[in-house]
Amino acid sequence: MKKFKSTALSFVMLAAVPLSAHAQDPEATANEISEAYKQAFNEQSAEGIAELYADDAVVLPPNADRVQGKDGVAEWQTMQFEQMGAKDLDLTVDETRQLADAIYQSGTYSMTVNGPNGEMPVAGDWLTLAEPGPDGKFLITRHIYNVDMPQAAQ
């Protein structure tokens, strides 16, 4: 069951989209980012999700080791899809702030994963920091998320 706890989620988080490094509307940028992540996730595209992260990105999932870089994100997401059956992601953006050239984003998520007795819902909170890469496209550089719902008994 520890494996389930450490891999129940991957996320979520927001992602990078081809936007100017000086976003005129951080809220619109956040909406584009969250939609790009949600679409890639719901298409089960680990590679598509990884492309939304910077090469030196760090993801801090609950009850698991940190995930580093695009390759790490792709491996983590592949495991989430294949082993945990992660699917049906829904995201909300609750707060968006522009900090210099970076955009801080946070919100809530829900999805479905395989549980001990079949599929089960999982929900939580997430926070990401997106920064412009060398070409000006916003990429996720830091991402952390938690699990709000109690895990199944071990």
Reading the block at residue 106, the tokens are 């946070």
Residue 136: CB atoms within 10 A of its CB come to 12
Query: Do the Cβ atoms of 103 and 119 come closer than 8 Å?
Result: no
Residue spans per domain, the chain: 2-145
CATH number of 2-145: 3.10.450.50
10-residue averages of pLDDT along the chain (154 residues): 38 39 64 89 97 96 94 96 95 90 93 92 94 87 88 52
Q: Where are the alpha helices (DSSP H) in 23-130?
A: 26-42, 46-50, 69-84
User: pTM for the full model?
Assistant: 0.80
Q: pLDDT value at position 154?
A: 47
pLDDT of residue 65: 94
> What letter does residue 146 receive in the DSSP assignment?
-
CB atoms inside a 10 Å sphere around CB 90: 14
CA distances to 18, 60, 85, 99, 146 from 125, in Å: 25, 12, 20, 21, 6
Structure tokens at 82: 């294949």
